[in-house]
Amino acid sequence: MSASGIMGRVALVTGASSGLGARFARVLAAAGARMVLAARRQDRLTALAAELRADGAEAITVSLDVSSYESIQAAAVVAEKQLGPIGILVNNAGVSRQARIEDVTEEEYDEVMGTNLKGAFFMAQAAARQMIVHGIDGRIVNIASVAGLKPLGQLSTYSMSKAAMLQMTKSMAREWGRHGINTNAICPGYIATEISEGFIETEAGRRLIASLPRRRLGEANDLDGLMLLLCSGEPARFINGAVIAADDGFSAF
């Protein structure tokens, strides 16, 4: 898998403090990107940045609450000031709240939509503005979910937010393609991360795994090749507005 076009570019990953976000940061750093690690948990970001620097990468941290427009603008300014204009954005930050529809509160609804949809929209807007001003053929990768392709039980607001993210991705691809900016979405299936550790040991977790095509969860590194492709230069030139399921076939049935 070619990572051409990644070397030397400034790449900002939201939600980089753990899970898939941390994995994406490591993969892009290994491909030569200059990393902006963004999240609320600064202690974890600091540790990850130190790890990447020890491996020879350039990495900075920025405090980011994607549910805050002001925080997004401030993070984009810091990134450009310290490393240069953003060339790659991975919109990874997200939350979910499990509840029956009749039990969802306004606060829970606003939290999920504010983080997963509003946050991703304005983070992409901030990055795209830099790309357009500086004439950068940018790459934006929105991390959606199979929940955006098929509703998951008791995850109505999460599923809604990820479905809307897919339409957002296509709208951005249509408008920003003329500026050389490619916007695509990855829909991961069930991936083994620290967040899912407790669940997969439960009876419900075991039932879920038994329902999957290969009776196993995915690993974070299963997304490495796809991430490198979508963030690359020439190999990804004609991939714009794509919604790609990386779920081992889960959304196919």
Confidence tier at 3 by pLDDT (50, 70, 90): low
- For the stretch 144-162, pLDDT in tens is 999 999 988 888 999 999 9
- For the stretch 62-111, pLDDT in tens is 999 999 999 999 999 999 999 999 999 999 999 988 899 999 999 999 99
Helix residue ranges, H only, the chain: 19-30, 42-54, 69-82, 106-113, 120-134, 156-176, 197-200, 203-211, 224-231
- Report the first-to-last Cα separation within the chain, whole angstroms: 29
| CA neighbor of 91 nearest in space, from 70, 122, 68 | 122
> Cα–Cα distance between 186 and 200 in angstroms, integer?
23
Buried b (16+ CB within 10 A) or exposed e, 98-111: ebeeeebeeebbeb
> Using an 8 Å Cβ cutoff, are 173 and 239 in contact?
no
- For the stretch 8-44, pLDDT in tens is 999 999 999 999 999 999 999 999 999 999 999 999 9
Q: Is 158 a catalytic residue?
A: yes
pLDDT at 60 over 90: yes
Note the maximum CA span of the chain: 52
Rounded alpha-carbon distances, angstroms, from residue 3 to 98, 99, 112, 231: 37, 40, 33, 8
Averaged pLDDT for residues 225-251: 95
Class of CATH domain 10-247: alpha beta
> Cα–Cα distance between 247 and 253 in angstroms, integer?
11
Given the residues 69, 109, 158, 190, the one annotated as active site? 158
Domain boundaries, the chain: 10-247
User: What is the value of pTM for the model shown?
Assistant: 0.94
The residue whose two tokens read 């916007």 is 183
Kindly state the percentage of the chain with pLDDT values over 90: 80
